[in-house]
Structure 1
Amino acid sequence: MAIHCKIDKPLTSYVARHSFANCLKQKGVATEIISGSLGYQNLAITEAYLKDMDNSVLDAASALLL
């Protein structure tokens, strides 16, 4: 799939889950729904997962300015 889409980074199930959760969050989907979609039983795990994504998005945006 990566070759077909001309993506030069490895695509893994983690990348797919991360992208899926990030897209849902950006669309305003409730954390509880995202948590259930990922199969997590504990909402705190999803909140921590989404918080890490927030930091990576901010870091990437900040890097554009440097």
Structure 2
Amino acid sequence: MSPLLHPAHKIINKYSQQQLTLLPPLSNQKMNEYLKEIAVLCGIKKKLTWYAARHTFATTVTLGNGVRIENVSSMMGHTNILQTQHYAKVLDANIKEDMNKVIEKYKNT
């Protein structure tokens, strides 16, 4: 099995004996309904959508934690890196961290 975060393993285990597919199939419309319910329960004012969830995963969960864009592309099922670059945004924290790596590398030269 591919490496997954613990909450994802729990969801997979929950449904593993209940159906033929890995997870219950949901349309984008049904997923958006569920996300709307979650937003109400959590007091989130922003409109949550399947697209927003994918964007958050790409930018905050993966790229924001230093995962290479090539790997994010594969995780999201994109056929080429250009599709992933649509989600990618330059994060100030990543720029600072990358620049600090360069400074560290050349500080004794």
TM-score of the superposed pair, with normalisation by structure 1: 0.70
If asked which structure has higher relative contact order (CA below 8 Å, sep 6+), I would say 1
2:97 aligned with 1:46: no
Secondary structure in 2 matching 1:49: coil
| Unaligned segments of structure 1, at least 5 residues | 59-66
Which of 51, 55, 59 in structure 2 is aligned with 1:14? 51
- After the TM superposition, which parts of structure 1 deviate over 2 Å for at least 4 consecutive aligned residues? none
Equivalent pairs counted in the alignment come to 54
| Unaligned segments of structure 2, at least 5 residues | 1-37, 93-109
The Cα of 1:32 is off from its aligned counterpart by 1.0
TM-score of the superposed pair, with normalisation by structure 2: 0.44
Query: What is the Cα-based RMSD across aligned positions, in Å?
Result: 1.7
Q: Is the radius of gyration larger for structure 1 or structure 2?
A: 2
Which structure has the highest helix share of the two? Answer: 1
Which of 26, 39, 49 in structure 1 is aligned with 2:64? 26
